[in-house]
Amino acid sequence: MTYTAHTDLIPRPRLLSPVPPGRSHFPLDRDTLLDARPGTEGVAHWMRSTIGAATGLPLAPGDDDDYRIVLAIDPALPPEGYRLVVDGYAIRLDGGSAAGVFWGAQTFRQLLGPEAFRRAPVVQRDEWHLPMVVIEDEPRFAWRGMMLDVARHFLPKDGVLRYLDLLAAHKLNVLHLHLTDDQGWRIEIRRHPELTATGAWRERTRLGHRASPLWDARPHGGFYTQDDIREIVAYAAARHITVVPEIDIPGHSQAAIAAYPELGNTDVIDTTSVKVWDTWGISPNVLAPTDNTLRFYEQVLEEILGLFPSHFVHIGGDECPKDQWRASPAAQARIAALGLADEDALHGWFIRHFDRWLAERGRRLIGWDEILEGGLAEGAAVSSWRGYAGGIAAARAGHDVVMCPEQHVYLDHRQHAAPDEPVPIGFVRTLEDVYRFEPVPPELTAEQAAHVLGTQANVWTEVMDSQQRLDYQVFPRLAAFAEVAWSRLPAPADRDTADFGRRMAAHYARLDALGVDYRPPGGPHPWQRRPGVLGRPLDGAPPNV
């Protein structure tokens, strides 16, 4: 496959071929019409509001001219697949569904050049040119996601909408929104208003790793109203992105306990003294295994289901210390009444309760791989984060899996070993390292591998206290991850990193046009550094577990 300047596409398409012979480019001007066939009207609206705004082209509706763009659905194509033909006649963009047409429109935008990624024209042109090509493409995985942690550091609504645009530009189709944790509750629950009145705010914030002596003394917080969430979900849907909510149960729940002390283990500690946590790590304060707790979270989830149409609902289930349960007479009585073996089994009881509750309402539970330890119902799915092992075990047991091992695709991990890397956390994971990530372990049979729904890059924001820091950690590595999730690449050792690097050189100009404060290839800009803020770098190669 030979690329030219405007065909340095990311993700790399399955097939790209020039159209011989004749002109090398197809002109677009103010008279070019946009012919949206049934089912593609939403894509046409996106093209006019985004590509039209950047180019100054009206892309007016019409079907009576050869020099037009035709959007159509072709059921013979895969659901998210598309075919783009630029051959000197009408430009044809066909997709197996509206989503396929939309992903083709993302490729169309890349073909126009980086200026098409701005919000208004920066050059006055009578014509824009598309290279004469045929592109046929489809994704490898149905789940191509990014998890965004807005609990540790709140990202205002406009920042979430901006990230939805960035995901769409990279053909990613899942935003896993981590809405609750020890450090904050970020979604309005009308039946339980203290979750945001109290739980959305902490008095101060640790700067850097939890061993750091530095503090930001300003109160920190924020939350999304239910109308904010409706807006986010609708904005995502227009870009064929599913927003998967995460509400943590039964660990990572200190913010909820601070708001409603009766949710905690009141026979072990004075839960009225618990505050929204101001530091990082794993809080010992976990939910009490009471009927009141179950009913409370059912009421929370009732409102969540009304806001998020996602088939999957994430309930966390990770990093739940059992010390308070061991010390709690009420928890021990619950274990005995249920005939459970121990506190680990009590954790499994929590998860299975909400597994059944969601299934009865036509939804599916997904949780971090610790949920395997208590046994799962057939329909539950697993986010494999501690490595590949949880995903392998889940797939072998017949559960669907999203692969997101921290050793490979945790974007909070540092990008270089240099001392000027800001707040260095974890192992070094370079752009090339992410490009060589393989979501499907070779240990799985074909039948087991079919349970791998896809893959996800996770962005934990303990040390990302601004949009600038978020951009720095996410980009450019998210571009490499997007190609792993979309394209059918060779085995990791055989991947053409030189070709990817050459295409990335063109992609940086697109990120510049989008205003992304990415990490430059040569290292951080002076304003991106955070001297004196303690991180926790880990040396050597990460374990492949």
DSSP assignment of 417-478 = -STTSSS-EES---HHHHHT--SS-TTS-HHHHTTEEEEEEEE--TT--SHHHHHHHHTTHH
Contact 294, 353 (CB under 8 A): yes
Q: What is the pLDDT of residues 484-515, one digit of tens each?
A: 999 999 999 999 999 999 999 999 999 999 99
The yes-or-no verdict on residue 408 having pLDDT over 70 is: yes
pLDDT band at 3 (very low <50, low <70, confident <90, very high): very low
**Among 59-68, 88-97, 464-473, the least confident range:** 59-68
Q: What is the pLDDT of residues 207-260, one digit of tens each?
A: 999 999 999 999 999 999 999 999 999 999 999 999 999 999 999 999 999 999
- From CA 331, how far away is CA 320, in angstroms rounded? 14
Contact 378, 451 (CB under 8 A): no
Helix extents (H) in 49-156: 52-55, 98-112
pLDDT band at 2 (very low <50, low <70, confident <90, very high): very low
Q: What is the pLDDT of residues 446-461, one digit of tens each?
A: 999 999 999 999 999 9
| 173-199: average pLDDT | 98
Residue that is written with structure tokens 């991947």 in the block: 495
CA nearest to 437, candidates 415, 405, 393: 405
Q: What is the pLDDT of residues 437-446, one digit of tens each?
A: 999 999 999 9
| 66-81: average pLDDT | 95
Active site residue 31: no
Strand locations in 80-149 (E): 82-85, 91-95, 128-131, 133-137, 143-149
Active site residue 252: yes
For residue 369, what pLDDT is reported?
A: 96
The amino acid occupying position 68 is R
- From CA 206, how far away is CA 463, in angstroms rounded? 9
The yes-or-no verdict on residue 145 having pLDDT over 80 is: yes
The answer to whether the bond into 21 is cis (omega within 30° of 0) is yes
- Which residues, 6 or more positions from 301, have their beta carbon under 8 angstroms from its beta carbon? 247, 313, 354, 357, 358
- From CA 510, how far away is CA 120, in angstroms rounded? 14
The yes-or-no verdict on residue 483 having pLDDT over 70 is: yes
For residue 89, what pLDDT is reported?
A: 83
For residue 536, what pLDDT is reported?
A: 97
| 107-116: average pLDDT | 97
| 70-99: average pLDDT | 96
Q: What is the pLDDT of residues 321-348, one digit of tens each?
A: 999 999 999 999 999 999 999 999 999 9
Is 415 strand, coil or helix?
coil
Helix (H) or strand (E) holding 161: helix 157-169
Could you give the percent of the chain with pLDDT greater than 70?
A: 98
The yes-or-no verdict on residue 1 having pLDDT over 60 is: no
Active site residue 181: yes
CB atoms within 10 A of CB 117: 22
The amino acid occupying position 205 is T
- From CA 170, how far away is CA 434, in angstroms rounded? 15
The yes-or-no verdict on residue 6 having pLDDT over 80 is: no
For residue 23, what pLDDT is reported?
A: 66
| 4-31: average pLDDT | 85
| 336-363: average pLDDT | 96
The yes-or-no verdict on residue 533 having pLDDT over 60 is: yes
pLDDT band at 22 (very low <50, low <70, confident <90, very high): low
pLDDT band at 466 (very low <50, low <70, confident <90, very high): very high
- From CA 522, how far away is CA 368, in angstroms rounded? 35
For residue 375, what pLDDT is reported?
A: 80
pTM: predicted TM-score of the whole model, two decimal places = 0.97
Strand locations in 235-292 (E): 242-249
**Chain centre distance of CA 150:** 12
The yes-or-no verdict on residue 363 having pLDDT over 60 is: yes
Catalytic site residue from 240, 252, 451, 507: 252
Catalytic site residue from 87, 231, 303, 319: 319
Catalytic site residue from 137, 181, 188, 370: 181
- From CA 165, how far away is CA 238, in angstroms rounded? 10
Could you give the percent of the chain with pLDDT greater than 90?
A: 93
- From CA 252, how far away is CA 326, in angstroms rounded? 18
